[in-house]
Amino acid sequence: MLFTMANIGLQLYTVRDLLQKDFAGTLRQVARIGYNGIEGGKGPLSQEEFDKLLKEIHLLNPASGGGLDAIEKQGDAWLKPLAAAGVKYIMCSSKVDSAEAYKALAARLNGAGKACNAHGMTFQYHNHAHEFADYGGVTGHDILVNETDPKLVWFQVDVGWVNWAGKNPSEVLRRLKGRIKTIHVKDHTPAPGKERQFAEVGTGALPLAEVVVAAKEIGVEWYFVEQDWCARPSIESAEISFNNLKKALG
């Protein structure tokens, strides 16, 4: 299936509350909003039921995620079914708190990347804010970028978390040109004197227009909307984010 517009997907964590009540019905709502695809799994459905539903509602499932443990401990048993289902991108995240631990994590990521590549899939590391803590002039994210094999480990930059950490998301994207195929688009409120909150894409502090310019420059294939917590009904938040991102992408 080919799209004439940018591929906008929804990370299903955004609507997890609805999925627990009505998995298939929620995916139908996501499709009606206009999303091209999803990042997530088949939930309570069999693979056959999931594939049939996605075909019916014209949604793709190009990406999924899991912990490093799933790849390291289950290996082919976990990866093979995903590859057979057409998943192209596997992402994971982690949390460590020292330069030495980031170097050790990088070695594990290289191993996971090799395992995914063996099944024709691209392995991506997904950041949060903590990777941008400084360790003697270098961030944890820097260490992961420098210590991983570009042929094995790609980066799914979450631009919202980058911005949350006080870094420039456009600069991070451009630095990783050639190692990014998908990104997470997330927004948050400014935090002058109060606790920061997640927000719909295009309604908060994320410099969305600048992010879109950089993402287009480096050839991002999929823009996955994600909102960790929603003040309004999650499907409404997903629709607001979709409309604002679609407008920004032109």
In a domain, 2, yes or no: no
Residue 55, Ramachandran bin (φ over 0: left; ψ between -120 and 50: alpha; else beta): alpha
The verdict on residue 239 lying in a domain is: yes
For residue 52, being part of any structural domain is answered with yes
Q: How far apart are CA 44 and CA 47, in angstroms?
A: 9
Which residue, 210, 175, 222, is CA-closest to 59? 222
Asked, for residue 1, whether it belongs to a domain, the answer is no
Tens digit of pLDDT at every position of the chain (250 positions) = 333 357 999 999 999 999 999 999 999 999 999 999 999 999 999 999 999 999 999 999 999 998 898 899 999 999 999 999 999 999 999 999 999 999 999 999 999 999 999 999 999 999 999 999 999 999 999 999 999 999 999 999 999 999 999 999 999 999 999 999 999 999 999 865 568 899 999 999 999 999 999 999 999 999 999 999 999 999 999 999 999 999 999 9
The region that residue 135 occupies, defined by phi over 0 for left and psi between -120 and 50 for alpha, beta otherwise, is beta
Examine residue 67 and state whether it is found in any structural domain, yes or no.
yes
- Domain count within the chain: 1
Residue range of the domain that includes 163: 7-249
Residue 26 is assigned to a structural domain of this protein: yes
Q: Is residue 177 part of a domain?
A: yes
Please give the pLDDT value at position 5: 53
Q: Which CATH number characterizes residue 18's domain? A: 3.20.20.150
Residue 193 lies in a domain: yes
Q: What is the pLDDT of residue 195?
A: 84
The candidate with the shortest Cα–Cα distance to 166, out of 194, 207, 105, 214, is 207
